[in-house]
């Protein structure tokens, strides 16, 4: 499960990794539209922003909150002062990080202005606006200097990168030396019984219920399709290594429904 040091990949492994990246990057919310993935995701998240938090907490039975807490706890040993939260959405991960005593400032970045407007409201309610800022932008071209942050977090957003390889390289670039990245992402459980329930729940119930809540029938179908296409566990660790990370590891949460990935610059 744990990998350390530089990755030495044979030709077949490299080709497989590139195929995996193409697969997830080709999953679009609105397949019939001609616009690219980033534009479609911006449209989708702006549209579902008002119901996003309610739907997420409902569909995860509130467990997503504990996943974020454990991810932030995994950073406490490093005591990061400056943190970047990529694909911040409505800011849950950023606000969790900002509540840590050692944190001086958290910057959340996202392509959806509708989602970040809600994040700003939540920061004000929690009286954390002095420790958090939210800016509009994409991970593939982060508007920060090299070696700017002690830690980077990504909560359920790497599936949405328009370029997975470029996004990981950019995260590596803006991290300080010895800085850490922690990524949460939904995953496909390996246990056959849990997998059967998971496939029915996320493949049928969540898209149906999500379409009723959000009035966007494709948004929650995209969720299931993108999770299915995402290169998980060792495959994603290989991509992190390819981007320059070492001391990489993954940890299964909640019977494999969620994965926590981490790495160091």
In this prediction, residue 22 carries a pLDDT of: 56
pLDDT (tens digit per residue) in 87-136: 999 999 999 999 999 999 999 999 999 999 999 999 999 999 999 999 99
Angle between helices 219-229 and 206-214 (to 10 degrees): 140
Specify the range with the lowest mean pLDDT, choosing from 17-21, 50-54, 146-150, 177-181. Answer: 17-21
Question: Per-residue pLDDT for 175 more than 90?
Answer: yes
In this prediction, residue 21 carries a pLDDT of: 52
- Element of type H or E holding 260: strand 258-264
Question: 63 vs 103, 163, 186, 211, 255, CA distance in Å?
Answer: 24, 28, 12, 21, 12
Best CA proximity match to 154, nearest among 263, 81, 47: 263
Task: Tell me whether residue 143 is in a domain.
Answer: yes
> What average pLDDT does range 176-201 have in this prediction?
93
Question: Per-residue pLDDT for 1 more than 50?
Answer: no
Task: Tell me whether residue 2 is in a domain.
Answer: no
Cβ proximity of 109 and 93 under 8 Å:
no
Instruction: Please give the mean pLDDT across all residues of the chain.
Output: 90
Task: Tell me whether residue 247 is in a domain.
Answer: yes
Question: Which CATH number does the domain housing residue 88 bear?
Answer: 3.40.50.150
> What average pLDDT does range 124-152 have in this prediction?
97
In this prediction, residue 135 carries a pLDDT of: 97
Please state the domain count of the chain.
Answer: 1
Rg of the chain (C-alpha set): 17
In this prediction, residue 130 carries a pLDDT of: 92
Task: Tell me whether residue 121 is in a domain.
Answer: yes
> What average pLDDT does range 203-225 have in this prediction?
86
> What average pLDDT does range 216-224 have in this prediction?
87
Question: Per-residue pLDDT for 73 more than 90?
Answer: yes
Task: Tell me whether residue 147 is in a domain.
Answer: yes
Task: Tell me whether residue 3 is in a domain.
Answer: no
Given the structure tokens 């990794």, which residue do they identify? Answer: 17
Give the DSSP per-residue string, 77-144.
Answer: TT--SEEEEET-TTSHHHHHHHTSTT--EEEEEES-HHHHHHHHHHHHHTT-TTTEEEEE--GGG-SS
Question: Per-residue pLDDT for 211 more than 90?
Answer: no
Task: Tell me whether residue 215 is in a domain.
Answer: yes
Question: Per-residue pLDDT for 2 more than 60?
Answer: no
Domain with 114 in it: 11-264
If you count DSSP H runs as helices and E runs as strands, how many of each does the chain have, helices first?
10, 7
Angle between helices 11-25 and 234-242 (to 10 degrees): 100
> What average pLDDT does range 65-78 have in this prediction?
95
Question: 191 vs 187, 250, 256, CA distance in Å?
Answer: 12, 17, 8
pLDDT (tens digit per residue) in 32-68: 888 999 999 999 999 999 999 988 888 888 899 999 9
Q: Which two tokens stand for residue 159?
A: 């599936």
Task: Tell me whether residue 127 is in a domain.
Answer: yes
In this prediction, residue 239 carries a pLDDT of: 96
């Amino acid at each position: 499960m744990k990998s350390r040091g530089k990755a030495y990949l044979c030709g077949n492994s490299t080709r497989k990794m590139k195929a995996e990246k193409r697969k997830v990057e080709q999953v679009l919310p609105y397949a019939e539209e001609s616009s690219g993935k980033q534009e479609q995701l911006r449209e989708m998240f702006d549209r579902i922003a008002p119901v996003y938090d309610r739907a997420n907490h409902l569909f995860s039975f509130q467990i997503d909150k504990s996943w974020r807490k454990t991810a932030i706890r995994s950073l406490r040993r490093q005591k990061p002062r400056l943190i970047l939260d990529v694909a911040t959405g409505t800011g849950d991960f950023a606000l969790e990080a900002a509540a840590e005593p050692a944190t001086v400032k958290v910057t959340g970045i996202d392509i959806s202005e509708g989602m970040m407007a809600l994040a700003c409201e939540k920061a004000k309610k929690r009286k954390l606006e002095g420790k958090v800022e939210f800016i509009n932008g994409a991970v593939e071209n982060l508007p920060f200097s090299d070696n700017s942050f002690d830690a980077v977090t990504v909560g359920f957003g790497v599936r949405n990168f328009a370029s997975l390889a470029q996004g990981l390289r950019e995260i590596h670039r803006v991290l300080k030396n010895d800085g850490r990245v922690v990524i949460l992402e939904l995953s496909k459980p390996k246990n056959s019984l849990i997998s059967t329930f998971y496939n029915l729940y996320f493949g049928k119930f969540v898209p149906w219920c999500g379409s009723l809540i959000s009035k966007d029938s494709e948004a929650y179908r995209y969720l299931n399709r993108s999770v299915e296409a995402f290169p998980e566990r060792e495959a994603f660790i290989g991509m992190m290594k390819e981007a320059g990370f070492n001391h990489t590891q993954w940890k299964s949460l909640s019977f494999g429904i969620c994965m926590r990935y981490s790495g160091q610059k």
